[in-house]
Amino acid sequence: MTLILFTSLLCLVLILIYIYFKRRYTLINNNLPGDKPQIFFGNLLNSGFLTRKKSFHEILHDYQRRYGDKFTFWFGLQPYIVFCLPEHIQTILSDRHTFEQSSSFIPNFDLVCPNGIVVLAGAKWKRHVRVMLPVFKRAKMIQHLDTITECADHFIDQCLLDNHIHTDLVHRCQTFTMNVIGLIAFDYNLESNINSPIKIAFQDFVSYVTIVILMSWLPQWISKIYLKFNWKYQKIHRLIRELTEKIVEQEQNNSQRSKNLIASLVSSLNEQANDEQISSGLTRIEMLDEILTSMLAGYETTSTALAWFIFYMSKYPHVQQRIKQELHEHNLLMTNHVQYLPRLTSEKLDSLIYCECVTKEVLRLAPTATATTRIALRDTIVDNVPIHRGQTVIIGLNNVNTDARYWHDGHPNKFIPERFLGKDKDHHPFAMLPFGGGHRACIGQDLAWLELKLVIVRLMQRGITFEDTIENGGGYQEQLTCFPKNIAVRVHIDKI
């Protein structure tokens, strides 16, 4: 009797849940096109996202092709309005009083870094940005040029074997950026020991962050339970926290002012900092979260762009030759006449115009930032589409990067750095936003830009040539960002 009653109640609950979701999906209508959502999954299953058949940026391109420049995409139980034109982006990102960054930008990230600047809003975000923004300004980053150069040399010497086909360059690029972050943030060499516990812990931590972000279509309490009772994650998180706290204490006791990230943040330490009254600085817990957020952001984006640069160079060998020609013209290339590598300064980097164009083209084509999200703080209208307070919109950043209506110099899907010397030099200001835009643009973009351009120059300066192979198929592997899925290039080191 009890079993029958329990079964009947369970069936009733399931029927009510089905009716609830059915009504939810049926009644919400913004008169925009899009695929019909599936119960519970929304468009994540029928679009190919959950089955990993397509990356998210491929899905947004496919939807734009089928439905136009504005459409609806259901991310699990939530409908999002997607906008794909630079004019849309300009309207949304420029109105900071109507649109604020949504927690969906990096979903579930608040579970691992609840005080990270990317998940904050309002007064707390303003307090954090006053501390974080000066830390990542170009003037500060220039101080680390020699450090980044040394890391690039280590990457070349240890990872790039002459006349050898490399299939693990995505991992190698991640290791390179991790080493840069370790030295800039902590003065800590993560490459000193390939089996370093902190290095392994950080790599595993990134994997868990990726998992919880991909679980964002599920109710958040499921992700909370997953992390809370995952002993390996808890151990990794504790190890990283303990190391960071130890380095902070050492910095506080250091009489000589360092140039690293932690030194800059330690000076802002204020345990009385709050948002209820005028105050500044960060508490210790907030500072630790900001350090971890900065490490994660820098680790993923630059390594992704570097991996795509290597892939594109193997497909477009003439670009490599033109970079080396420019370096030769500036006496920065090792030749029979120049037997040493001149120190790379900010002035020398700024003088390399074609290298600048290559860096821009990598960031334009590489899907490092597929999209960003904003939440409406009040009712508004964008291009005749009514948006209600509390509704989240998706901005297709990668869509505008290759829109033929805004890129005129050569096919927009082709790797053509020269476009930035010709018709596309003065492209629409919102047709290319690799680091987002508006008041919530990436605060670390100066470091990412400098790091990417410098390593590109150093690779070519050292005579590295990347050659295509049959196995070098590209494709997309979605993690926190989108890496090339199948990369297999032959490395050749030019002889003097």
Binding positions:
442
Residue 194, CA distances (Å) to 19, 97, 175, 178, 304 in order: 54, 48, 10, 12, 21
- Are the C-beta atoms of residues 312 and 362 closer than 8 Å to each other? yes
Residue 12 tokens read as: 């009733």
Residue 143 tokens read as: 């101080």
Strands 464-467 and 164-166, how do they pair? unpaired
- Are the C-beta atoms of residues 457 and 440 closer than 8 Å to each other? no
What is the three-class DSSP state of 380?
A: strand
Q: Which residues are annotated as a binding site for heme?
A: 442
Length, in residues, of the chain: 496
Q: How many Å separate Cα 89 from the centre of its chain? A: 18
Residue 464 Rama label (left phi>0; alpha psi -120 to 50; beta)? beta
What b/e string do you get for 4-23 counting C-beta neighbours within 10 Å, with b at 16 or more?
eeeeeeeeeeeeeeeeeeee
**Cα-atom radius of gyration of the chain, to the nearest Å?**
24
Residue 471 buriedness (CB in 10 A; 0-12 / 13-18 / 19+): exposed
Of the candidates 481, 88, 44, the one whose C-alpha atom is nearest the C-alpha of residue 304 is 481
DSSP H/E element including 359:
helix 353-365
Cα–Cα distance measured from residue 150 to residue 147, given in angstroms and rounded to the nearest whole number: 5
Bridge partners of 380, per DSSP, are 387
